[in-house]
Amino acid sequence: MDTMKAILERRSIRKYRDSEIPQNDIDEILKAAMYAPSAGNQRPWEFIIIKSSEMKKAVCESLPHGKMLADAAFGVVVCADLSKEKFPGYWVQDCAAAVQNMLLSSHSMGIGSVWLGVHPVEERKAAISKTLGLPENVVPMGVVAFGIPDQKPDQPERFDRSLIHEEKWQK
């Protein structure tokens, strides 16, 4: 799929068909994540793949807006290993760029996804860290649920020229 088409068409998909997704496709999505840019090219990310019903339910219990994860084909918890950071505090941006690559690559393959926020909500981070057995230096940034779409969201116009300023702030 064309890059610009993927960027403009991608929407959060919260309803999934009861279909499995081949491991090759999952690997391709994770590969896309690992090609994101990162501060100092440190690539601090770690990925926990959740496929079992038990773990999908356990993780979505920590996510107030994440009930669809239980019906997803799989979930990915995107974490950062803070001990890999050269420039402190950039791990959030690094992991967010990796997530965006996952959302776009999966959409281009016909797989729907939704990004569920974890960081910076401390209670969600603590609960997910406990559920997954994360070591102290590894923190969860977000969760992405993936599945074959069973909904077709609207495609509203989102380009808004009032958000663009020339040379300086102008409003």
CB < 8 Å & 24+ apart, contacts of 1-7 = 1/107, 1/108, 3/104, 6/104, 6/107, 6/108, 7/104
Minimal distance, residue 68 CB to its own copies, in Å: 15
C-alpha distances out from residue 138 to 110, 126, 169, Å:
31, 11, 38
Nearest-angstrom CA–CA distance, 14 and 6: 18
Minimum CB distance to its own copies, residue 119 (Å): 8
Least Cβ distance, residue 2 to its own copies (angstroms): 7
**Which residues would be at the binding site for its own copies (CB under 8 A)?**
1-8, 10, 12, 27-28, 30-32, 34-37, 39, 43, 45-52, 55, 87-90, 92-93, 96-97, 99-101, 103-105, 107-108, 115, 117, 119-121, 132-135, 138, 141-142, 158-160, 163-169, 171
CB of 139 to its own copies, least distance (A): 12
**CB closer to its own copies, 121 vs 126:** 121
- All residues at 6 or more sequence positions from 88 whose CB lies less than 8 Å from its CB, including other chains: none
Give 16 or 26: the residue with its C-beta nearer to its own copies: 26
Residue whose CB is less far from its own copies, 96 or 148: 96
Q: What CA–CA distances, in Å, run from 30 to 16, 44, 122, 144, 153? A: 20, 14, 26, 11, 25
